[in-house]
Structure 1
Amino acid sequence: MGPSKVIPYYFKASENFDHEEITMATLVTYNRFKVLARLASHYRGPISVALHVNDDEDKYQIISDLHDLFAENEDMRRYVDLHLVVDKFDRQFNMWRNVAKFFARTDFIMMLDVDFYLCTDFRESLKKEPELMNILRAGKGAIVVPAFEYINEADGEDWNVFPTNKKDLLVDVKADRLDMFHRSWTRGHGSTDYEKWYKSTKPYKVTDYNYSYEPYVIFKKEGTPWCDERFVGYGANKAACLYEIYLAGIDYWVLPSDFLIHQTHHYPEDTRAKERTYNKKLYDYYREEACLRYARLMIANNEWNTAKSENLKNECGRLRGFNDVIEKIIEQHEEL
């Protein structure tokens, strides 16, 4: 799309963080400043955020307001590394996600949308799961924190009354006030298996993966795939990030007692509909390309007959003609 001016650590957090802390890697635009400040004061841990500013006459006012935001909130100064992205290209969500990830200063990140409220302390929960922590350290697992939203949007506007434990959450679920995030698009979060989660007391592995799955996950920063920056605008952008993570041999594990709730935020629906149509077509081509790219890499690295390739085999084997192509690639590899 053209060059973007990226200014890393335009503001740099004053706190020093343990390398095994979880950095919230997120993105924000001008209209979400207050939500970012709320996240900083609530999480009180490392945050790496990419802020996009349009390169026009309004940028000076935005930068001024940004300075005011940091001056007014000590938690912003203590916990937030903010990286400016200045260009004329709106909604480059995956590019912004990559910036936030690249400049994160801890071993683990959580790819979070800033509108989600952290209802529970998943950092403490993970510390009590040594096997899960070892999977995370080895870069073999991504930890899912289930996402919810209120059915009546007005109920999701006041985060002060959100449930803060699973027992209270289930009361609202049974009363049909809360449900899985975007329940009208089951493929987006359905692989988490919410019915199983309601009853679970131990972490469990996602077994019914769908290529549209886009949970909010904690994973190792180093050695994990980046988000494909061809996805611009709404639709499939986050799913593409999670798809590539899955193909790389990283399994999804769900925390049994932790959750996030969406804080009601209204979107430009006309724009979303148009961009989703374009990105859906792009995603179809991208999936084929990603499958072949990772398959060739695993074959070249003699990893094709290891556990690392199982996710790829299960998912990509559904693509028409994929297995035939792979057989030929394996034959060529064996002849070398």
Structure 2
Amino acid sequence: MPYSPLTDMTHGLRLSKMFPKGDYQSLKGISPFWQSANIPIQDETDVSLLTTVSPESWKELVALAENWNGPISATLHVSSQLHPSVLYDIEKEYQSKPSLYENVDIHLIETAGQNAMSVLLPLSVERNLARMYARTRHVCDIPSNTILATDLRQTVKKYTEKMRWGDMLVVPTFEFQQQVVSEKDIPRTKKEVLGLVKQGKLALYDAEYKINEGPTDAEQWKISRDVYKVENYTIDYEPIVIQSKTIQPWCSERFVDKKAACLLSSYLAGNEFLVLPNDFAIYKPSARKHAVSELDRVVEKRLYSKFYWEECVYRARELDALGLWQTTKSSHIRQQCSRVIQNWGRGLIGKPE
């Protein structure tokens, strides 16, 4: 094999180039495929779930794998101060459960400090890492504390062409308004969901919005028999989506945890959110202890407003360069970014004045 300078690159150097917003020392602690699924992918058009877990939320991944029974690419983020027995117990359980060792690839991340979620290695880096190592053409970034209640893998086969062109399939997510007692409480059909919604026991959950009031549109979902476009998109929208692994923009890694930023870029590029009419997920409280700090939330909010402006300008110029500015591909950015583009001045789109 011919010599390549890439061969001599250290593990940390390669990863720091792949994930430039991550801290070099933190990136050195990444071990891709710490545990590897032993069943080969039979169908590349299948869907891989992407998720991020910690030792506290490990059991959520176990439950997710048992429920999904398909490919999963997960990051496991631990502190280097963690007692070795914890990782040993996780590895032992992984190797004892077919739902894990047959289907789940785990990418281990060891960093210093107790709070794994920080600007040194943002959750956005973990999301991109899980996506990069997914072994199928389609992926679904999903919180580990979520139950996929229907056979999504069969549904996806109907819409592979739409995803090939960049569109995203939204999985409506519902939340119980009271404590779920057991697995039998989880609805498995749309009819059951509608019954629980009518009783006030279940509500549509869109993060950052009041229940039943998010862009997924609870009223439209109730009556829809086919996929429908999200009409009332806002930049904080961050639903569970199934999408192409390769077509979509990657998550911006400047944010500790801002999933909406991953989807904003795709929407401004002209891709649609298509809500699935008969599939759904159930959201549960998470066992993960470390959340984004209040300071980080304030910083992220201000950063995101700047990022929105930046994406408006960049995606507008990209569409223009691709010859798509005068097509329907630009409809989203014209609607969302008209003020930004006007404030920028003449010459942003088309030939300079």
Number of residue pairs aligned between Structure 1 and Structure 2: 322
Scaled by the length of structure 1, the TM-score of the pair is: 0.89
Residue in 2 aligned with 1:100? 130
State whether structure 2 residue 27 is matched by structure 1 residue 6. no
Contact 2:206 / 2:238 at 8 angstroms: preserved in 1?
no
Partner in structure 2 of residue 75 of structure 1: 99
SS at match of 1:210: coil
Which residues in structure 2 correspond to 1:166-315 (within 5 Å)? Answer: 166-181=190-205, 185-186=209-210, 190-233=214-257, 237-265=258-286, 272-315=293-336
**Partners of 2:193 and 2:293 in 1: how far apart?**
30
The reply to whether residue 133 of structure 1 matches residue 160 of structure 2 is yes
Contact 1:94 1:232 in 2 (8 A): yes
- Tell me the SS of whatever aligns to 1:10: strand
Counterpart in the other structure of 2:144: 114
Q: Determine the C-alpha separation between the residues in 2 that align with 1:51 and 1:269.
A: 14
**Runs of 5+ consecutive residues of structure 2 not aligned to the other structure:** 1-21
Q: Deviations over 1:51-103 (max 9, x none)?
A: 111222x1523321221121221110000011112223622211110111010
Which residue is 1:145 aligned to? 171
* Whole-Å separation in 2 of the counterparts to 1:59 and 1:78: 27
In the alignment, the residues of structure 1 paired with residue 77 and residue 193 of structure 2 have an alpha-carbon distance, to the nearest angstrom, of 34
1:35 corresponds to:
60
- Compute the displacement of 1:20 (Å): 0.3
Check 1:308–1:201 CA distance in 2 against 1; reply closer, same or farther (3 A cut). Answer: same
Question: Does the aligned pair in 1 maintain the 2:206–2:239 contact within 8 Å?
Answer: no
- 1:167 deviates by 0.6
Unaligned ranges ≥5, structure 1 = none
Distance in 1 of aligned mates of 2:290 and 2:108: 26
- Secondary structure of 2:347's counterpart equals helix
How many Å separate the matches in 1 of 2:83 and 2:36?
A: 20
Contact 1:188-1:214 within 8 A present in 2 as well = no
DSSP 3-state at the match of 1:190: coil
Q: Give the Cα separation in 2 of the matches to 1:283 and 1:159.
A: 38
1:101 to 1:286, Cα distance in 2 relative to 1, 3 A: same
Q: What amino acid maps onto 1:136 in structure 2?
A: M
CA displacement 1:108-159 (0-9 Å, x = unmatched): 00111110001111222233x3xx3311123x2100010011112x22x633
Higher-helix-fraction structure: 1
Give the conservation status (yes or no) of the 8 Å contact 2:53–2:61. Answer: yes
Cα distance, 1:226–1:171 mapped onto 2, change above 3 Å = same
Say if 1:159 and 1:263, in contact at 8 Å, map to a contact too: no
After TM superposition, give the deviation of residue 35 of structure 1 in Å: 1.3
Percent of aligned positions that are identical = 31
Report which stretch shifted further, 295-304 or 90-99.
295-304
Separation in 2, partners of 1:10, 1:51 = 9
Contact residue 189 and residue 213 of structure 1 kept, 8 A: no
1:328 aligns with 2:353: no
After superposition, the CA RMSD in angstroms is: 2.3
Contact 1:53–1:62 (CA under 8 A) maintained in structure 2? no
Task: Provide the secondary structure at the position in 1 that maps to 2:188.
Answer: coil
Deviation of 1:272 (Å): 5.0
Cα 1:21/1:238, change in 2 over 3 Å: same
Structure 1 range deviating more: 200-209 or 75-84:
200-209
The answer to whether the 8 A contact 2:36-2:105 is kept is yes
Aligned with 1:65: secondary structure?
Answer: helix
